[in-house]
Structure 1
């Protein structure tokens, strides 16, 4: 009996054991899928154990501080664990009971290899600078340099899981085997996600493992659907989408985070262009169809970018290798654009690509009515300035319009080519030539007290030209070293001529004509004979640069970047005598600079950079230093989604300076003209930066970016109107003839929210910028004041809706509040020194109280892009200023004569155009 009971018990145990083994085998054969984006290893193991119903044991200390980046599809438990633990020093054992035990690997002394390569766009082959290369267990990682090269050196031999990420591109996951003393090299092609902004990730705060796919935070293709509405496409105007960029209103300057216009530099392929605007600052001087992207460097940027107080904006020529020849034709109300591109193989691993683009206007054939009328309004005669400048028996208010003529001409040519010896060695060259001019002629008539007709004539003419050429060689020399070298030259020249005279001037021959047309012709003759009083302003600058850069990878955690640069700068400033005292300055200087920066990844989420820049100025015989650094923390696995925070700052100097001199002409179209100087300074302009930015992605459809900055400028320079108007004793060939030192404080914050709706068919961008600045103006006003260009509050709302296949609607709202310095700049900077600053109840001694009305504008654009296999067509309709608001640029004063001989004044507003539509067409063949 006992034997039978024992046999039954043994049989039951065997059955239970067999069932357990079969169940374990069934679970071992079952397939599972997991996705981990920076999850702690302990949490990943718990998730695996729970979902697979596997008993798992391990020492919590051996998994501490390890994160998992893995995408696993349809794998059994052993395969899952090998994938998760593959890039760590951990392994697993499976006991006969089915329990999994996580243990440390037992191995011999480690051997090392390296991994390097290049990350490119899978469609165009264009390198992707700033892309992230991250080891999945966060034991190391790097980012690509400006040529798209990456280097991971001194990697312990074994298996590695690596994720490649770049905002706007689908992440790439790879597993590689590193063998002892092996140099593993490959090309990584990343596929662009279907987005509306073609991004190039900002070089400053670069999120390391971003989940969002709707575009880069601080860069934009100039041809994207988000582009600002206007009569003509613009390569840089759409940067106003981004925090800290103040640009977009006609006749206004660009400012970065409240800085002066001259405190940032615009580059084309890394080469400075000193006259980057066309047609009186109304558009950029570059064809947008020659530019592939625009990259932005703001407060806290790194040492490799150079020396500028506010930052840099770098435009890159479009030399994409798309395989097939391309021809693009585009027309809008002001210009014609033509671009061609060709690529072909030059060997087994080599290829050659070339792009040419040209843009020109046709003002003589067709004058866009809204712009023509706007020029007439902006060219109106200012009576206060006229009475100061013109010796006449007639008050300027008595002159009635008789003739008005305007001329607009611009063109630009771009040529860029790239020869790729192999994927890791490239020669890139580009040329740019641009020229533009705008002029207005005005004739007015009055009757003298003696009944004799008197005519007043004014001409305001501007001419700018630019040239830029550069040649860049880059090569990934070894798995440790990436090198590049560039030789460049740029030349920029500006000429301004203002003429103002009346028919009773004794040096002008008596007007023979009896009609306004004849008198106008007589004035043209007098101009050719140089008999009409005029102000000539000329400035030229030539800049040659040789620079070389290199990046050396010591380990997957640590790399060093360094570079050398030689600059030769020559400039000339020449102001003749009508408004300002004659000034002639001819300068030559050489600069030698170098930089060194180290980047270290610490732990799972930290990244540190620290560097210094040294510059020796030949004329000053002095060495200047610029230490800079940053700290970044990325957290992919938080409860609020992926987020990243960055703190950066340091010392920033400036060695080539730009000055905006107010144009006092009574009919001046452009408020100021630009001159450049780089010598004769007692102290070089400098600024201390502190910037902080926060980036969070709660979901793949939502992205929020916040930033704030503080800039203290203990030494900066501004135009000295006291020296220009009253400095007879000053050396007129020195920079002190038109400049003086001062200091400025600048701080602000910005917010951008990107949201996708309706299954990404709709997108919204909401933005707000706040800026506070104070500049010391003791000599002019006796106190510190907000800067004349300040925009304390700027609001933006942009929406994009894909209505139908091929049809997109984009609405753009912008509001600017708090602008001061309401009168023309010449009132504060010219009339004030002429002793004319009290007119009735108005004076020009408190510009902070002269507040302009809020600026509000709504634009609506419709884009039609039909699908076709033979050609790419885009029709764009822009409804500009849809609410027909007359937004004010500035004020002038109009005298109102009263019957008792008294005189009062009222404000006359110079405003932007009201509602006007614009149609453009683009055709790609």
Structure 2
């Protein structure tokens, strides 16, 4: 028989807040007018509250923190400006030369520090991880005459993440891009320590059952409650970060037993970018009687993956940006009844009305079609 499964989920940051607030003092003669103005005010109130309570949400962001010092004397430098290039995120150091940036979306950035009387410094490939603090210190060289070019330094990821209290395997965007055959996140996860993929392509973590792994996409559960597996499929090209937590997870993931798989999707930036790649398969037939291989033939296992991102306007601003990724694939399997076809689409729109408010609309659609094998005996059992 042919089975088809669909998964479609839209997330709107303000929807969870609007029903919890009552708009008073609104009197209209018609029911239509009341509904319209209540909706408008609820959205505005929700957006304001969203900006004010964002720091207490788990969210999909991390934190940058560090100290700015004089290169020669080691003295902390107050009042130095710290900016994340390509974004509107920035701050300045306090009287102790310390700074911190919260609610930084997960990703890789270039951070620049500048202060009057000192040569500006840029650090590239600074990675911000989900719910973790990335330490980033700077040393500025005094310069009485402003130089035209800044010093560029490649940031190094700390070997030990001091605020990481759980057993977590983490793969960032740069590593995902360099994987040779990453057609789905399942092969990436199954290559990590403590995981096993069985003959039914089900994931087991640390000896647990397949249904005891929790799956999160952009910090929202996408677990299928009927079978306990991931209810969607997403291409690694659409991810900014992929992690597997196998122990010590916090109360945020209270329903998890053996492991937590968390994926953060990418966001668009101020520049247009895109990529397309395809996979195909060739194999040799094998004769079990003679032990000889046949000629090289296509096995009809292939997939196409593409993504596109950039600003919603041509002003090259990150105030309004989009990201879209799509995947289509077909796998014939080893037996005639083991074929399957699938396609998956992921999209995200990011809006920043102000520096303190950010609205995100994201969606994921997944559909697969496969032929399930059924065996019934003479008693129809």
Q: Could you state the TM-score of these two structures normalised by the residue count of structure 2?
A: 0.52
Matched residue count: 263
Residue 307 of structure 2 corresponds to 339
Q: Is the 8 A contact 2:172 2:241 kept in 1?
A: yes
1:432 to 361, 364, 368: 364
Alignment of 1:239-254 (within 5 A): 239=189, 245-247=194-196, 251-254=200-203
Deviation at residue 312 of structure 1 after TM alignment: 2.8
Structure with the bigger RCO (C-alpha within 8 Å, sep 6+) is 2
CA shift digits 1:828-872 (9 cap, x unpaired): xxxxxxxxxxxxxxxxxxxxxxxxxxxxxxxxxxxxxxxxxxxxx
Deviation at residue 252 of structure 1 after TM alignment: 4.6
Q: Work out whether 1:289 is the aligned partner of 2:237.
A: yes
Residue 329 of structure 1 corresponds to 276
Deviation at residue 266 of structure 1 after TM alignment: 0.9
Q: Is the 8 A contact 2:70 2:77 kept in 1?
A: no
The separation in 2 between residues aligned to 1:437 and 1:170, in whole angstroms, is 43
Alpha carbon RMSD of aligned pairs, Å?
A: 4.9
Deviation at residue 421 of structure 1 after TM alignment: 1.2
The separation in 2 between residues aligned to 1:127 and 1:85, in whole angstroms, is 22
2:352 to 409, 414, 420: 420
Deviation at residue 220 of structure 1 after TM alignment: 1.7
Q: Is the 8 A contact 1:339 1:355 kept in 2?
A: yes
Residue 487 of structure 1 corresponds to none
1:358 to 323, 326, 351: 326
Residue 191 of structure 1 corresponds to 124
The separation in 2 between residues aligned to 1:118 and 1:269, in whole angstroms, is 27
Residue 72 of structure 1 corresponds to 70
Q: Is the 8 A contact 2:245 2:260 kept in 1?
A: yes
Residue 308 of structure 1 corresponds to 256
Alignment of 1:637-652 (within 5 A): none
The separation in 2 between residues aligned to 1:212 and 1:425, in whole angstroms, is 30
The separation in 2 between residues aligned to 1:218 and 1:341, in whole angstroms, is 27
Go from structure 1 to structure 2 and tell me whether the alpha carbon gap of 1:306 and 1:436 turns closer, same or farther (over 3 Å shift): same
Go from structure 1 to structure 2 and tell me whether the alpha carbon gap of 1:233 and 1:136 turns closer, same or farther (over 3 Å shift): farther
Unpaired segments ≥5 residues, structure 1: 1-67, 88-114, 149-165, 177-187, 194-198, 377-403, 441-459, 461-497, 506-532, 534-577, 579-925
Q: Could you state the TM-score of these two structures normalised by the residue count of structure 1?
A: 0.24
The separation in 2 between residues aligned to 1:137 and 1:241, in whole angstroms, is 44
Residue 233 of structure 1 corresponds to 183
1:224 to 158, 167, 175: 175
Q: Is the 8 A contact 2:268 2:350 kept in 1?
A: no
Residue 212 of structure 1 corresponds to 156
Residue 144 of structure 1 corresponds to 102
SS for the counterpart of 2:353 is strand
The separation in 1 between residues aligned to 2:259 and 2:104, in whole angstroms, is 17
The separation in 1 between residues aligned to 2:346 and 2:95, in whole angstroms, is 43
Alignment of 1:162-561 (within 5 A): 191-192=124-125, 200-201=128-129, 203=131, 208=135, 212-213=156-157, 218-221=169-172, 224=175, 230=181, 233-239=183-189, 245-247=194-196, 251-275=200-224, 285-304=233-252, 307-324=255-272, 326-333=273-280, 334-345=302-313, 351-362=319-330, 367=332, 372=333, 375-376=334-335, 404-439=336-371, 460=373, 498-501=374-377, 533=380
Deviation at residue 262 of structure 1 after TM alignment: 3.2
Q: Is the 8 A contact 1:234 1:284 kept in 2?
A: no
SS for the counterpart of 2:256 is coil
Deviation at residue 362 of structure 1 after TM alignment: 4.1
Unpaired segments ≥5 residues, structure 2: 1-65, 138-154, 162-167, 281-301
